[in-house]
Amino acid sequence: MRKIAVLLVLILTCAAVVALAQEGHPLTGSWHGEWHTASGQKNPVMIYMKWNSKNIEGTINPGPNATPLKVATVDPNNWTVHLEGDTKDNVHIVLDGKLDNIGSYNRTLAGTWTQGSTKGEFKITRD
C-alpha cells in the first residue's frame, strides 16, 4: 500500500511540473524590436499578441496610434507567421516572418515588413 501511495505522489508531482512548464501559444506576449527600410531608416516597433482560444489577437504599437491586427496566422509546420493591420490613416501593414528559438522564452520573429508601398526587414524579440 505504501508503494502505491509513493507512486501516486510521484505521478502527481510529475504531472504538476509538466502543467506548469507549458506557457501557451508561441506568439502570446509582448514583442519589441525594429524594422528598417533598405536605406537603413530604423523604426522601433512593439507588438502585443495573445491567443483567445480561437484566434490570435493583438496590436502593433499599442497606444494612441495603435494598429489592431486584422489577420494573424502561424504555420506550425515551418513556424512562419503572417500579420496584417491597417493604421488609422488606412495604411496597410503586412508582416511575414519566421519564428526562431521556439523553445526559448525570448524567441524571435524576423522577416519582411511592408507598410503601404514601403518594404523593409524586421526583427522582434518576445519580452
Containing 125, the helix (H) or strand (E) segment is: strand 118-126
- Where b means 16+ CB within 10 Å and e means fewer, 6-27 reads eeeeeeeeeeeeeeeeeeeebb
- Domain residue extents for the chain: 25-126
pTM of the model: 0.80
The reported pLDDT for the residue numbered 103 is: 87
Residues across the chain: 127
The reported pLDDT for the residue numbered 22 is: 44
**CATH classification code of 25-126:** 2.40.128.120
The reported pLDDT for the residue numbered 88 is: 93
Average pLDDT over residues 67-89: 96
121 or 103, greater pLDDT:
121
The reported pLDDT for the residue numbered 16 is: 45
The reported pLDDT for the residue numbered 122 is: 98
3 or 100, greater pLDDT:
100
- The two counts, helices (H) then strands (E), for the chain are 1, 8
Cα–Cα distance, 67 to 62 (Å, whole number): 7
Residue partners of 58: CB distance under 8 A and separation at least 6: 27, 47, 48, 49, 50, 68, 69, 72, 83
Average pLDDT over residues 33-57: 94
Average pLDDT over residues 3-15: 57
Cα–Cα distance, 13 to 27 (Å, whole number): 28
The reported pLDDT for the residue numbered 64 is: 87
Average pLDDT over residues 56-76: 94
The reported pLDDT for the residue numbered 20 is: 38
The reported pLDDT for the residue numbered 23 is: 57
Cα–Cα distance, 112 to 82 (Å, whole number): 10
